[in-house]
Amino acid sequence: MLSHEQKTSIVSYPQCDTYAWYSQRAWVEIDLAALSHNVKQLRNLLSPKTQLMAVVKADAYGHGAVTVAKTVLESGASWLGVATVPEGIQLREASIKAPILVLGAVQTSEQIHAIAHWKLQPTLCSPKQALVFSDTLEAIDVDATLPVHIKLDTGMSRLGTNWQQAGEFIQLVERLPHLRIASVYSHLATADSADLTVMNLQHQRFEEAIAQIKTLGIEPPCLHFANSAATLANQALHYDMVRAGLAIYGHYPAEHLRQTVNLKPVIQVKARVTQVKTIAKGMGVSYGYKYIAPRDIRLAVVGIGYADGIPRNLSNKMQVLIRGQRIPQIGSITMDQIMLDVSHIPDIQEGEIVTLLGRDRDEQITADDWAKELGTISWEILCSFKHRLPRVAVE
């Protein structure tokens, strides 16, 4: 249980005005002090002139976009990055004034209208998209110019114009009414790899593209290239701004980058024991009887399941923490509940808190642990926790 000294508040969905956070069957805790710490750690890696963009797309990687955005801006970030227009609007509706870059592609007139109205800044990925923006803004008789960010594809093979056409693309945008180039950027495909071959190649291509642009007499006002991994790996990739996502949430993009900076996980996932019982040797547990009790065991049912974002493929593989002890999960993970073997905690009580991700005394379970077991990445784990779990801000 949290101490009385810790400040807590429910910061986002679902609406829980009639229930205190501590009455919930399960919830996600967001450690704002850890979040602030991570931002300051990253800022310490940057020169004073290099800005920090905090990537808060996908509801801040499941942490709660509005609360995260406010905290990172107070802690040293100066820009926010989102993937979609609605994500940007959510931040503006929360009275967040910082510049917001929409990293995803935007093409419909409705989205362009919304970008102009909410003072968001779009990514332009192609000449066709630039023309659509200019024509749409002309049609709605926009007085001011819209800041736009030019995306070059230097090897990610995703969004962006081929780096070899950078000069031609920039010249087009320069000529179009209602558009003002705010930055030129690209994205790295393998910055988390210990093999630097591809990253160095992309860096070389980016440099060549910028040189091509400058020979045309155009000086980009801002260049940015580094994601979290590149921010940790190489100062030469910092340019005028870095775009940090995973690192601000306290996770390392790769093991070999752990020594670069001291990051603290921001998220903890907790739930409560809802029933305790004894089952006899030979009894099956949960759907499909994927676990058969090898002896009489004390079993605890916990109110959280795959509908909340606990991967079902962790069935019979995961551990949780109770009273600082590692406890095995048994049987198939179900939609709303999991079962535990708590035989060595005979006095366990209904209502006790179970830590699925996070720290309990000297033990810790992280998103990296789950990702390793599942053969996936921590980004996916963090983004998987569903909206029916309240996000509780903890300081």
Please list, in sequence order, all residues whose beta carbon lies within 8 angstroms of the beta carbon of residue 238, skipping any fewer than 6 positions away: 45, 46, 47, 50, 226, 231
Q: Regarding beta strands 241-244 and 223-226, do their DSSP bridges make them parallel or antiparallel, or are they unpaired?
A: parallel
pTM as predicted: 0.93
Is 119 designated active site? no
| Residue of 287, 289, 317, 372 with catalytic role | 287
| DSSP type of residue 14 | S
**List 57, 61, 151, 291, catalytic entry:** 57
Instruction: State the average pLDDT over residues 259-270.
Output: 96
Does residue 19 carry a catalytic annotation?
A: no
Task: Choose the weakest-confidence range: 5-9, 42-46, 69-73, 374-378.
Answer: 5-9
What tokens appear for 313 in the block?
A: 């493929």
Backbone phi, psi, residue 156, to 5°: -75, -25
Domains of the chain: 46-257 (3.20.20.10), 267-394 (2.40.37.10)
Residue written as token pair 């040189």: 211
12-57 pLDDT, tens digit each: 444 344 355 556 899 999 999 999 999 999 999 999 999 999 999 9
Two tokens at 220? 């980009």
pLDDT digits (tens, 9 = 90+) for 95-152: 999 999 999 999 899 999 999 999 999 999 999 999 999 999 998 876 679 999 999 9
Angstrom distance (rounded) from CA 232 to CA 265: 16
**Which tens digit of pLDDT belongs to each residue from 312-332?**
999 999 999 999 999 999 999
Report the C-alpha gap between 371 and 125 in whole angstroms: 32
